[in-house]
Structure 1
Amino acid sequence: MPGQSESWNLPKSWNRKILQDWEIDRLLMNLEVTLQKRYRQSTRKDLLLGLLCGYSLKKISQDLHKENAAVRAGLSNIYRDIEVLTGEANKSVKSSNLVYVLEKHGYRRGSVVAAIQRRDIPHNLPAPTYTQFIGREADMKKLLERLSSVHGAHMITVHGIGGVGKTALVLAAAYLCLKASNENSSDAPNFDAIIFTSAKQQELIPTNSILWRQQGQRNLRDIFREIANALDDPTILQSPPNDQFDRVRQILSKRRTLLIVDNMETIEDRNEVIEFLYNLPICIKVIITSREQIALLPIRLRNLPPDDGLQLIRQQAEEKGISINDEDSKQLYDRTGGIPLAIVYSLGQLSGGYSLNSVLNRLTSATGDVARFCFEQSVQGIKGQPPHKLLMSLAIFPDSAILAAVAEVAGLTAAPDAVNNGLARLQQLSLVNLNPETKRFDMLSLTREYALAELAAYPDFEREARRRWVRWYLDFAHNYAGEDWEKWIHYNKLEPEEGNLRAVLHWCEDKEHYEAVRDLWLLLSHYANLYAYWDDRLDWLQWLIEQSERRGEWSCFVKIIVRKSWLLIRECSSVSLKEADKILRRTWILRDHADLCVQADLAESMARLQIRQKDYQDARHWLTIEEKLVIEANLEERQHIRYFIPVLYHQAEIHYLEGEYLLAKKLFQEVMKSAEKISWHRVINSAQNWLADIAIEQGDRDQAEKLLIQGLTVAETTHNKRRLARYRRSLARWEKKWGSAEKAYKLSIKAIDGFKLLGMTRDAQEMQIFLDSL
C-alpha cells in the first residue's frame, strides 16, 4: 500500500544516530497532532530521519532504494509541515536550514529555545484566587501527564465534592501550560490556545455569602461564543447556528488547544455538549470539572490531607493578617474536613471579625453558606429516592460502615439493586466514598453534618432508621461478640465497628433505652475488657448498675456487678480492691436472683479478690463454693467444662503464688486439656503463659523460650491486650535471666505501657520495679 514504511528499506544506522541527537518522538507526535497526518508509521518518518542525518536527496534515495522524484516530492511536503508546526514563514524551510529551524524550536537534545520564540498565546483564563497553589502534587502530576501530547487521552474529567478544589487544580495546571507555551518550554505541555468556559452559577464569598453569577457558559451556544471571544474569531458567531459546530471544529483543528469546561453538572444541554467535546479533533485536549463522576479518564479529588490543609490555613491566615495558633488550626481543619473552600471561607470570616467559635458553628450548620454551597444542589436531585435514604442512613454511622449495615438502616434490604445503584449514585455525586480495600463506606465530616440535618427533617424516617440501626448492631454483637470461648476468632470483626458500637451505646443512653444498652454491653464486655482499650468501661457498668437497681432488675444487677468487680480486681489498687470487696459482699446477699452460672461467676470473683489480697485460704473456700454451684447447675458437658475450668485455673494460680510449681504445672496442664476440648483458645494461651513462668522458675530455659514464643505469637494474632502485656512481662524476665538486658528493658517498657492502658495498676508498678532492677 502506498505511503506505508514497509515498502521502504530504512537503514537501522539512521535510527540510532537520530535517537542520540534529537527528541524524535516528541517531534513526530507534535507533527501528527498539528497536521493531523500520520508520521510515526509512514514514509514521512523515514524521509525526516534522512534529513536530520544531513543526507542529500541522492543519498536518501539510494539508501531507501527509491526514485529521486518520489523522494523530492515527499521532502517538499515535509518542509511545508515543519513550517506549520514551528510557525516559520511559508516556503522558508529548506534542506539547508531544516536542522537549524528544529534546533531553534528545541527539538535537538540539550538545545535551548531561542529567546525570540517567546510568544503570547491566546487565552481567557480567569485570574488566580491564590498566591500559591498548595498540595495536590500527585493529582497535578497525573493531570499534566494526561495533557501531554504523548498521552492518548483526549478528554479528562476532574470530579469531587463541591469546594474540594477542582477548578483551582485545573486553573493551576492551565497556568503552568500557559507559561510553558509562551516560553516554548518543556516544563509543561504546550498549547497554541487555552480556552476556559464555566457554567458555575454560584460563588461562595466570605463577605457576601453565596453570590449568584449572572454570566456563564451554560449551553453549547454559550461555549461557542466564549471560544470565539477567546480566539478573537467572529466568523464562528457569524456562521448560521447549524454550521457553528463545524466552524468551531475547523478552527480548533488548526492549532493545539486546551479547552476547559468547568462545572459540567450545571450545563443545560449536557449530552449535546459532551457529544461536541467527544467529536473534537485529537489535537484538542479537553478538561471537564464536575461534582458528578463522568467515566472519561477521571481524576477524583478528595479532601486535603492534614499537612496540606494546615499549610493552606497558615497561608490564608498570613495573607489576611490573622493570628491563629496550632490548636485552633487543627480544630479548624477537623471541622472543615480538609475542604479547601471551607478553609478559605472560614479564614475570610475570621478576618471579617467573627470569632472562631462562631465560624466553627456556621460550618456545621446545615443551613450555613458552606453546607448549602457544597451539598444543596446535589442532594436536591436525589430527594425522595433510595440514594437520599442511603445518604441519611450512612450519616448515622460516625465511622465507616459496610454495605449490609447501611442497607438495613435505610430499610432497603429487600431491594439490593436499589442499594447498589443508590450507593453508586452517591459516589458519582462525591457525597460518599468507598474504600476499595476495606469495602466500607464513609463521608466527610461536613457532608455528615448536612446529611444529619436532612435526617432530622424526616422524623418518621429517622425514628425507624435509628431503630433498625440499634437492632442491626445488637444482632452483629450477638454473632461476633459475647464470651470468647469458641468465638475469639471473630473478635477481629469488632475492631472496625468500635466507633459505631460506642455511638449506639451513647445514643441509647441519651434516649434512656436501658434494655438496648444492657444487652449490647453484656455482649461487648469481654471484648472491651480483653481486646480493646475502652477507658470508659467502669462508667458504663456504673450506669447499668444504677439503672438495673432503679428498675429492680436484680438478675441483671448481679451480672453487671460481676463484670465491674472483674475490672476493679484487675486494677488491683488498694482503693479498687476495697470497692470490689464492698460490692461483692453486698451482691452475694442478692445471689438468689441470678441463675447458678452467674452465682458461680460471683463466687469466682470473690476467689480472685482473695488471691489479689493474698488470702489464699479464703480464696480456696470460695473456689469450693464455685465448684459446688457448677455441679449443682447440672450443665451439659461443654458448659460444665466451661464453668469448671476457672476452678482449676485459680487453684493452679494459688499453687504458683505459694511456690508449689509442680502442683501448679500439673493443674495448668489440666486446664489446657479441658480448654482444648471446647476450643477456649484464650484460656489455652493464658495457661501456656503460666507454664512458661513455671519453666523460668524451674530454670528450664529452652522450654520457657518455646512456650513464650508460641504464646506471644497467638496473643499478637488475636490482639488480646492483657495477654500481650503479660507475655512481654514474662519474656522480659527470660531475657534478664538468660538473654539480653537491652531486650529485657524494651519488653518491660512495652509491658508497662500495656498494663497502664488496661488500668492494671499493680502489675504496672511491679513491672516498673523490675525495670529499675535492670
Structure 2
Amino acid sequence: MLIAGWHFSGLRRGGDMALRTVTTEKAKITELIAVADRLVGDRLHQSLTDVDKIVLEQALRGSKLKDIQVVGYSQGTVERVFAPRLWKLLSQACSQKVGIKNLRLILEDYSQQAQPNTLSIGSDFSENALDRADEAATLAPQDLPNGIDLEGRFPQGSLRESPAQRFIAQPFILENLPAPTSTAFIGREAEIERLLHLLSPDHAAHLISIAGIGGVGKTSLAVECARRCLAASRNPQTYPNVPTFNALIFVSAKLCYLQSFGLLQRFDPMRSLQDILQQIADVLGETELAGASLNEQIHMIRRSLHGSSSASHAPRRTLLIIDNLETMENPQMVLSFLHDLPPSVKSLVTTREQSVFVPVRLVAMPTDEALSLIQHEAQEKGVALNPTERRALLRATGGLPVAIHYAIGQLANDFDLATVLQGMSNPTGDVARFCFETTVNGLRGQPSHHLLMALAMFPTPVLRETLFQVADVATSPDALQGALSQLCQLSLVNQQDNRYGMLPLTQEYALAELKAHPDFAQVARQRWVAWALHFSEPYANQEVKTWHSSFDGLQEEWQNLRAIADFCMTEGWYDELLQIWNNVKAYTYSMGRRKGRTDYWGDRLRWTEWLIAQATQRSQWRTLAEVMLDRAWTLTATRKPRALEEAEQLFEQIQTLRDYQDQPFQTEWAKKMSVLRTQQQQFDEAHQLLDEAEALLNPADWPAGKYARQRVQLLYYRGMTYFKAGQIAAAKQVFETARAQAHEVGWERAVRMTENWLADIAVREGKLDESEQLLVEGLRIAEQQDDPTRSAYVKRSFAELVQARGNPSEAQRWAREALALFEQLGMPYEAEETQAFLNGL
C-alpha cells in the first residue's frame, strides 16, 4: 500500500501554528477525503484508490499539481494520469466540474450539508450511530426527511434531493473492505458470476474458497465480489441479483505486498484465530473481548454475528473474508471456527491450497483477459506499449495478474522493457519470491519437492507415470501420488486431462530449485534422458515415404523430447543424442513436410551439425557418413542457394567415406546427389548419378517392399530431371512408368506426386481437361491426408492450368493460396517461384 507522509508547511501563516490547529486541519482533510470517498461510492459505486487519496490529501493541503508526489510513480504520471482521472471521477459524482482549485470548496459544501443528519463518515461506528440507523429503518413515510421513501429512494422528479440526503438514503452497512488497487477490475467475469451465486442466501454453501497459486488474483477477486455486494447492499434496487449483507468483514494474513519497487512487509498481518475474532469485534463495534478466554471470545463473536441487524431483529447477514489462510498459525482451528458460524454468515477464504469445501479455482488469466489487463494497467500508469511489447509481457508474466501489475509499474518507473522481461524470469526476483518462496520452503526434503523439480525439466505437460519415473524411483507409487496431490493442492502443479504441468513462472522457480540441489539434479537428468531413449525407440526406422507412417503418441511428447535432445547436445552426451536422433529423424522429416520446415528441419540441422563434429573427433567414420548424408539431403530439400553449396561439400566429403559404407548406403548417396545436381541444373551429371544408383541397386540388399520403393524413387527423380531440362516427352514416359510401379506396390503418395508432374506436362501439351482431372483428384487426396506440401504444389499447378485457359484472375487466386502455404511451410524457394508467376500474370 502506498503511504504519503503529512507535511504542514502550507498550513503555517506568519509563524508556527499551535499543535491543536495542525491536528484540527489534519482531521478536517481526513474528513473531506472520507466525504469524497462516500460520494464516489454512493453515486458511482466505486471507491477511491490509495493513490486517489494521496493526491487528494496533498491537493487539500494546498500543494500545486506539479508538486504532488506519489511514491513509486513519476511526477509526470501523477500529473498526466492520476490527477485528471480523479477530477473526472469527482466531477461525475458531484454533477459539476471539479478541479484542484475548487476541490476543497465543493467537498466542504457537501460535508456541511451532510453533517446534521449523516450517521458517520468514517469506518468506525458508535453504538449510538447504530441505534439511529435502526431508528431510521422504522420511520413512517411522513417522518422521512425531504420525501425519501421507506426503501431509501427519492421520488421521481423530486426537487428536494441534496447531497446530504444521498448520505441518509443509503442503508447503514458495517464494513472494512480494503480500497481497490485499480480503477477497474479486468476479466474473471465467469469466476465473479460463480462466486456471487455461491454468496447468495439461496445457495446452501456457507464456507467457500478461492484457491490458486500466489499472485493469481485471489484477494483481488474476493475484494471485487465483496465490493459489488457492498454496492448492492446500499442500493438493492439497482443490483437486484447481487447478494446483500449487513456487514462485510475483511481479515488478511498476507505477510507482504508486491509493488513495482519491491516487496513490502505488512506490519500487522493477522496470523491467529484471536486476530480474526478481534477484527470481527472491531468492525461490529459491539463486542468487548479484552480479558476473556479464547472459548469465551468465540462464543461472544458467534452471538454477535447471530444478532439482529436492525430493529426488525432479522439475523445479521455477514460476509467474512479470510485472506491467505495458508499463512495462519493454525488454519485447522480457523476452519473449525468458520464451520460453526451461524447460517447467516458466509465465509470466503483465499488460499493457495485446494480445499474440500466449495471451491472457486483460479488459474492464470486467459490470453485475451491478460492482454486487456496489460493495456489497462499501461493506460493507468501512462506507459505506451505496442502490440508486440504487450505480447512479450504476456509471455513473460504467464498471465499472472501480480506479475502484470509489477511489470507495468516498473515500466512506469522508467525501467526499460528488456530489463523488466528479464526480471520476470529471475527465480530470485521479487515476483518469484512473492509467488513461490513461502510455499516451496515447506516442501524441501519431501517427495513433493522431488516431483516439483523433476516436472520443471519438462517444457510441456507429461503423464503421471513419466513424472514418477523421472522424479524418484525409490518412493512407492502411493507416496508419489500423495505428493503430486499436494502440489496440485498448493497450485504449484496443474492437471490437464491426464497430464501434469506448471505455469512458466513456477517452472523458472522450480528450475532454480533443481540447480540448487545438484545431487538430485544429476540423477534426475539421467532418468530424464533414459526415459526419452526408451520412449522414442519404437519410432526408429519408420518409413516417411507414405501417408501412414506410425508416429502416434510422439507429437504429444515432441517438445519434451526436443528439450532432452538439446540438453544432451549442451552437456556433450554424444551417444544419447545420436540414439535419440536415429529414433526421431524420420519423424522430423515427415513433420517438416506436414507442419513446417523451419522448426522441425531446423532441429535436424542443429543436431546433425553437432553430431558431425563429435563423430569426427571420435573417428566414427561410418556414423559420420550417415549423419552427413542426412544433413546433405535436408539442405538439398530446402533449395536455398547457400544450403545447396553446403550440401555439395558434404556429398563430396561423403564420397571419401564410401569405403566405410555398404551398397545400400552408396545407392542412397548417388540418388540424393542426383537431386542436388538437378537443383543446380547439371542435368547430365544427375543422369549419370541415377545410372550409378540403378547399377548399385541389388534386390538382395533390400526387403522386397523397400526395393520396389527405391525403383519408383529412381524413376521419379529421373522424370523430374528430364522435365527440368525441358525434355517433356521423355519426362512423361518415365513418370507414367513410375506411376504404374507405384500403383503396383500400393504407394499412393508416389502415385499422386507423379500425377502432379503429369498434370503439368498435360498443360504443356494442351490437354487441359486431362490436367484438371489429375489435379482435382490430387488436391482431394492431399487435403484428405492433411499434407499441406502436396496441396501447395497442386494449387500452384492449378494456377498454371487456369492461366492456360485464359483466366488470369482465377490463376491469381490459386497462386496466392499456393504462395500462402509455401510461406507457412518455410519453403522460400517455392514461394519465390510462385511470386514470380504472380508477377508475370
TM-score by length of structure 2 reads 0.71
CA distance in 2, matches of 1:734, 1:368: 61
Determine if contact 1:692/1:703 at 8 Å carries over to the other structure. Answer: yes
- The equivalent of 1:376 in structure 2 is 437
- The equivalent of 1:752 in structure 2 is 819
Q: Which amino acid aligns with 1:544?
A: L
CA distance in 2, matches of 1:485, 1:478: 19
- The equivalent of 1:659 in structure 2 is 728
Determine if contact 2:287/2:301 at 8 Å carries over to the other structure. Answer: no
Find the residue that maps to 2:495 and give its secondary structure: strand
Determine if contact 1:480/1:493 at 8 Å carries over to the other structure. Answer: no
- The equivalent of 2:199 in structure 1 is 147
CA distance in 1, matches of 2:316, 2:770: 80
Determine if contact 1:206/1:346 at 8 Å carries over to the other structure. Answer: yes
- The equivalent of 2:714 in structure 1 is 647
Determine if contact 2:319/2:346 at 8 Å carries over to the other structure. Answer: yes
- Using the TM superposition, give the Cα deviation of residue 303 of structure 1 relative to its aligned residue in structure 2, in angstroms: 2.4
Of 275, 279, 291, the residue aligned with 2:352 is 291
- The equivalent of 2:258 in structure 1 is 204
Distance 1:682 1:501, change over 3 A: farther
CA distance in 2, matches of 1:605, 1:367: 52
Please say if 1:448 is aligned against 2:502.
no
CA distance in 2, matches of 1:181, 1:247: 25
TM-score by length of structure 1 reads 0.77
- Using the TM superposition, give the Cα deviation of residue 591 of structure 1 relative to its aligned residue in structure 2, in angstroms: 1.1
- The equivalent of 2:578 in structure 1 is 518
Please say if 1:568 is aligned against 2:629.
no
CA distance in 2, matches of 1:289, 1:653: 68
Please say if 1:596 is aligned against 2:650.
no
Determine if contact 1:122/1:231 at 8 Å carries over to the other structure. Answer: yes
- Using the TM superposition, give the Cα deviation of residue 753 of structure 1 relative to its aligned residue in structure 2, in angstroms: 3.7
CA distance in 1, matches of 2:338, 2:802: 71
Of 337, 341, 359, the residue aligned with 1:280 is 341
Please say if 1:120 is aligned against 2:172.
yes
Of 665, 678, 691, the residue aligned with 1:624 is 691
Of 581, 599, 612, the residue aligned with 1:545 is 612
- The equivalent of 1:181 in structure 2 is 233
- Using the TM superposition, give the Cα deviation of residue 259 of structure 1 relative to its aligned residue in structure 2, in angstroms: 1.2
CA distance in 1, matches of 2:587, 2:698: 28
User: Structure 1 stretch 751-760 or stretch 159-168: which is displaced more?
Assistant: 751-760
Find the residue that maps to 1:534 and give its secondary structure: helix
- Using the TM superposition, give the Cα deviation of residue 247 of structure 1 relative to its aligned residue in structure 2, in angstroms: 4.2
Find the residue that maps to 1:265 and give its secondary structure: helix
**Structure-to-structure mapping, 1:409-448, within 5 angstroms:** 409-412=470-473, 415-436=476-497, 439-448=498-507
Which deviations, in whole Å up to 9, do the C-alpha atoms of 1:521-579 show, x marking residues without a partner? 34433433423333534444333333323332222222223223323333435554454
Which deviations, in whole Å up to 9, do the C-alpha atoms of 1:156-182 show, x marking residues without a partner? 211111111111111122112112212
CA distance in 2, matches of 1:175, 1:647: 75
Unaligned runs of 5+ in 2: 1-132, 142-146, 154-160, 307-314
- The equivalent of 1:730 in structure 2 is 797
Distance 1:89 1:175, change over 3 A: closer
Please say if 1:467 is aligned against 2:526.
yes
- The equivalent of 1:224 in structure 2 is 277
Determine if contact 1:596/1:633 at 8 Å carries over to the other structure. Answer: no
Distance 1:236 1:691, change over 3 A: farther
Q: Which amino acid aligns with 1:461?
A: F
Find the residue that maps to 2:276 and give its secondary structure: helix
Q: Which amino acid aligns with 1:619?
A: A
User: Structure 1 stretch 282-291 or stretch 137-146: which is displaced more?
Assistant: 137-146
CA distance in 2, matches of 1:599, 1:690: 28
User: Structure 1 stretch 460-469 or stretch 326-335: which is displaced more?
Assistant: 326-335
Q: Which amino acid aligns with 1:234?
A: T
Distance 1:359 1:733, change over 3 A: closer
CA distance in 2, matches of 1:577, 1:354: 46
CA distance in 2, matches of 1:739, 1:402: 57
Distance 1:247 1:350, change over 3 A: same
Determine if contact 2:716/2:734 at 8 Å carries over to the other structure. Answer: no
CA distance in 1, matches of 2:261, 2:829: 59
- Using the TM superposition, give the Cα deviation of residue 419 of structure 1 relative to its aligned residue in structure 2, in angstroms: 4.2
Q: CA RMSD in A?
A: 4.0
Determine if contact 1:390/1:422 at 8 Å carries over to the other structure. Answer: yes
- Using the TM superposition, give the Cα deviation of residue 764 of structure 1 relative to its aligned residue in structure 2, in angstroms: 2.7
User: Structure 1 stretch 633-642 or stretch 554-563: which is displaced more?
Assistant: 633-642
Determine if contact 2:712/2:738 at 8 Å carries over to the other structure. Answer: no
Distance 1:130 1:759, change over 3 A: closer
Q: Which amino acid aligns with 2:193?
A: K
Of 692, 702, 714, the residue aligned with 1:635 is 702
Q: Which amino acid aligns with 2:461?
A: S
CA distance in 2, matches of 1:573, 1:126: 62
- The equivalent of 1:506 in structure 2 is 566
Which deviations, in whole Å up to 9, do the C-alpha atoms of 1:459-499 show, x marking residues without a partner? 12212222222232233333346442578444464444443
Q: Which amino acid aligns with 2:174?
A: P
CA distance in 1, matches of 2:380, 2:828: 51
Q: Which amino acid aligns with 1:233?
A: E
CA distance in 2, matches of 1:142, 1:347: 29
Determine if contact 1:409/1:469 at 8 Å carries over to the other structure. Answer: yes
Of 573, 583, 588, the residue aligned with 2:650 is 583
Please say if 1:533 is aligned against 2:592.
no
Determine if contact 1:206/1:348 at 8 Å carries over to the other structure. Answer: yes
Please say if 1:673 is aligned against 2:738.
no
Distance 1:683 1:368, change over 3 A: same
Q: Which amino acid aligns with 2:615?
A: S
Distance 1:524 1:241, change over 3 A: closer
- Using the TM superposition, give the Cα deviation of residue 328 of structure 1 relative to its aligned residue in structure 2, in angstroms: 5.0
- Using the TM superposition, give the Cα deviation of residue 358 of structure 1 relative to its aligned residue in structure 2, in angstroms: 4.8
Q: Which amino acid aligns with 2:250?
A: F
Find the residue that maps to 2:254 and give its secondary structure: coil
Q: Which amino acid aligns with 1:197?
A: V
Find the residue that maps to 1:610 and give its secondary structure: helix
- Using the TM superposition, give the Cα deviation of residue 292 of structure 1 relative to its aligned residue in structure 2, in angstroms: 0.8
Distance 1:158 1:218, change over 3 A: same
Find the residue that maps to 1:673 and give its secondary structure: helix
- Using the TM superposition, give the Cα deviation of residue 263 of structure 1 relative to its aligned residue in structure 2, in angstroms: 0.9
Determine if contact 1:483/1:523 at 8 Å carries over to the other structure. Answer: no
Distance 1:521 1:742, change over 3 A: farther
- Using the TM superposition, give the Cα deviation of residue 723 of structure 1 relative to its aligned residue in structure 2, in angstroms: 2.4
Unaligned runs of 5+ in 1: 1-85, 95-99, 107-112
CA distance in 1, matches of 2:631, 2:194: 56
- Using the TM superposition, give the Cα deviation of residue 754 of structure 1 relative to its aligned residue in structure 2, in angstroms: 3.6
Please say if 1:457 is aligned against 2:516.
yes
Distance 1:369 1:761, change over 3 A: closer
- The equivalent of 2:400 in structure 1 is 339
- Using the TM superposition, give the Cα deviation of residue 128 of structure 1 relative to its aligned residue in structure 2, in angstroms: 2.5
Determine if contact 1:164/1:302 at 8 Å carries over to the other structure. Answer: yes
Find the residue that maps to 2:277 and give its secondary structure: helix
Distance 1:415 1:479, change over 3 A: farther
User: Structure 1 stretch 627-636 or stretch 259-268: which is displaced more?
Assistant: 627-636
Distance 1:702 1:143, change over 3 A: farther
User: Structure 1 stretch 695-704 or stretch 447-456: which is displaced more?
Assistant: 695-704
- Using the TM superposition, give the Cα deviation of residue 124 of structure 1 relative to its aligned residue in structure 2, in angstroms: 1.5
